[in-house]
Amino acid sequence: MKEATGMKDRFDFIVVGNDKKLFYKDTFGAAAAGANYITNAFPFLYLATIEEMMRRIDAREVGKVSEKMMSEKRKQLRPPTGNRMLQENRERYGRFSTFQRVCLEIKAGIGKPIAHGSGFYASKDVGPVRVRVSPLAMRYGSTMFKKPMMGFAYILECFPAWYDEEIKRLGASFLKQTEEAFEGVALDSPMAAGSLLPVLLDKKKAEEMSAFTRACVEIYFAGKTFAWKETKARKGPGEKKLAKSIERNVPGNKTALFVKEYSGNYLVNAFGSRNRGMIFAIDSFPFLIQRTVADEIGGVFSMNELGYIRKAMAEVIQPSGATAGMVLIPAVEAYMSMQPLMNEQWHQLANKLGRLSVFARMCLEEGLYDVRGD
């Protein structure tokens, strides 16, 4: 069984505008769910955005802005709005989103706490929302803002406007074309915000978008699946208390499975319980397959080579369990050795197969290189 290591998550109240709390409730199903997701996703979206921007701009210009900000007598950073970057070079930075410019300003003033005053909240109508902050988010928040909870309060206040800007820019046509791909999909870890779209859509097209744009699309279609609600079941015979359960706002089906002893014991040792392990494996498997196909298989094999693999696997007992991924190479080798004048083709194919992970070979064994969750 896994042992807990490191710091524990921190639960705290962050004050946000009540109009923003309504946004999070509408978008995520619950204000706390939205605040949790954005607070924990922000450090990763910030880092991804800075990496993207540093490939597109001259780092010296950010350095100039940083020098100006650090030379100010103010000990606190004025709320970053993206306008400083426009003042530096409107022609260059005007083509970037507000979120991208804000990230550059945070980088330029990194370590300075955001000033709590004029321009922080859009209105005086504010209220607390309880947020669960991961240790990693807290650490990055401390690095970026010095006072992390103040920084996250500002991010939660501004996110709805950044989100609306991205969604409007994408347009109704794109959103309509994309809707079907998200059927039955749920948001899970905010730390992976922006990583779903390359799996569900064309990977190349999705990766042409910024990480923040991808995250906004995922939230637009699947935001409400991040919310959990506690429910109380009916009192059973002889029970003194109501049985509690947690219900998630996610479409799905219950299923009963027979699990072999070794696999069941492994799941208990790895995940703490058999059920938790099965849920993790079942929920993760489709996305692991699609990511593996996109990263390791797509564009690597010719149609002829995929045909050889398909014919070879049709002539063997389908591998499963402990043998998954282990049958492909010997099966294809045996099949091609019986075909005339195939020696050169086999060496080329063997070289490609040998570079694949076991999981990728399993995908080829099962013919999963062109399967989606539609």
Element (H, E) at 16: strand 10-17
pLDDT per position as a tens digit, 97-115? 999 999 999 988 877 777 7
The Cα–Cα gap between 307 and 291 comes to 22
**Strand, coil or helix: what is 306?**
helix
The Cα–Cα gap between 40 and 57 comes to 27
pLDDT of residue 234: 45
Retrieve residue 87's tokens.
């003042």
Half-sphere exposure of 186 (CA within 13 A, CB side): 15
CA dihedral for 244, 245, 249, 253, sign (positive or negative):
negative
pLDDT of 242 higher than 50 = no
pLDDT of 239 higher than 50 = no
Higher local confidence (pLDDT), 152 or 77: 152
**Strand, coil or helix: what is 154?**
helix
Location of structure tokens 């409400």: 224
Element (H, E) at 49: helix 31-54
pLDDT of residue 236: 47
pLDDT per position as a tens digit, 135-151? 888 988 888 888 889 89
Q: How many CB atoms lie within 10 A of CB 284?
A: 11
The answer to whether the pTM exceeds 0.75 is: yes
pLDDT of residue 2: 41
pLDDT of 29 higher than 80 = yes
pLDDT of 204 higher than 50 = yes
Which has the closest alpha carbon to 154: 117, 124, 180? 117
